[in-house]
Amino acid sequence: MQDQVSICVIGSGYVGLVAAACFAEMGHRVLCVDNDEARVKTLREGGVPIYEDHLPELLARHRGGGVEFTTDLGGAVEASEAIFIAVGTPQGDAGAADLSFVEAVVSEIARHINNYKVIVEKSTVPVYTNEWIQRVLRRHGVDPQNFDVVSNPEFLREGTAVIDFMHPDRIVVGAGTERAANLVRRIYEPLVGGSYYGQPGALPGALSAARPAKLLITSAQSSELIKHASNAFLALKISFINAVANLAEAVDADIEDIAAGLGLDRRIGPGFLHAGLGYGGSCFPKDVAAFHWVAQQRGVNFELLQEVRKINEKQKDIFFNKVLSALWTLPGKRLAALGLAFKGNTDDIRESPAIEIIKRLLEAGAMVAAYDPAAMERAKSVLPPSAKLRYAAGVYEAAKGADAVLILTDWKEFAEIDLVRLNDAVRFPIVIDGRNLYKPQQMLDHGFTYVSVGRPASYQAQQGKPRSGVL
């Protein structure tokens, strides 16, 4: 019989909503709290406010049963054994994480602790946040015997977050008492014990009943540092391969071959060795900055993180210059921009290199037709349609009459374009690929001039002439 735990998840954003759905999938009873009444109404009525594979399926399966949505934080806290804090921790001006939302939530939790609770940091927070949460609770008069605070960082990739949650590389728990650690063990037992993977309808993935999830118990400080260190290291790998790509391009080498050679080394591995426009999203930029800020506050010289950020920013400059070099001048040029999200399989445009590049192209006088399979509505809030920017219904509509096609996001759809049809649609057969989705010879064979990242450009000897009727 499933050992059901009553759980409160505070925050129905990216992390909170995925956590709530996945805890319900494990067999627990979940109350997901948000102070946004419209968002809660949407979730109750079957809406899914974020684009994420498997999330609609899990919410449909468990809504009104395993998971319920509410604005009543106090009632949810009182009814729950474990309280997961999954609110935003945006980056402040100095790079530090803004923990004001966390503090506000903790203050509200304090008013409703009626018996022993385990309060779990799920938001990405700097080291010693666990200690500060304890201080805030005590300042509000909560008996220390009635709570423990645990760090349980998330390691989710947007686009694969549900599978990452249910088939994790590791589950990290920073707990100061065995009592708290045992409750969190109960929560994750379906994954750590393997029972979830043998049940009918279990989401498929890398783990199984014979190879279940691994649970690592640490101190709270170690757990908090593991999250920031993990993201900083992955950002480092991305910036490293992009720096190597710039060198490869300078000596006419191929970064895809180099990355393959590096990735075959078991000590390095192939993940995050994809040269391109650099990293974006809600995690890497913020977490690298916050990790660097924490190091500075403790007197640790961690300038490597500054270089990681500089290389990442430089990649966008390099790509913009590739566009300029391919087209000579930009005023009046028509460009098809394929991709708005910071990566494929998500509608998240936060810190998206694609958005920044499109802004720069528009400022330079270009006219842009943009398309993304999921992120166009979100993009319109920061890039509203105008005389110079329109949103297309598909790849070929965006490409119609274009002087060049820019690939800015690594959607699978963009790696499977009908190149004959694309060539027919464009004004000039020029593709500038910021994600290296194609082989240079393949593009050359289809009549394209092809410019990518970390590889020699492939130029057609004859560009052809403008299609008649295109203004």
φ/ψ of residue 33, rounded to 5: -110, 135
Does the active-site annotation cover 283?
A: yes
Tell me the C-alpha distance between 31 and 189, whole Å: 19
Residue 299 Rama label (left phi>0; alpha psi -120 to 50; beta): left
Q: Which amino acid is at 374?
A: A
Instruction: Show the beta-strand stretches assigned E in 179-274.
Output: 215-218
Tell me the C-alpha distance between 280 and 436, whole Å: 17
Helix (H, G, I), strand (E, B) or coil at 202: coil
Tell me the C-alpha distance between 235 and 229, whole Å: 10
Give Cα 306 distance to the centre of its chain. 21
Is 339:355 a contact under the CB 8 Å cutoff? no
Q: What is residue 320's DSSP assignment?
A: H
Q: Return the exposure string of 170-206: e unless at least 16 CB atoms fall within 10 Å of the residue's CB, then b.
A: ebbbbbbeeebbebbbbbbbbbbebbbbeeeebbeee
Is 147:118 a contact under the CB 8 Å cutoff? yes
String of DSSP letters for 96-131: -B--HHHHHHHHHHHTT--S-EEEEE-S---TTHHH
Beta strand 367-371 pairing with 430-433: unpaired
Is 369:392 a contact under the CB 8 Å cutoff? yes
In the set 8, 22, 32, 283, the catalytic residue is 283
List, by residue number, the catalytic residues. 283
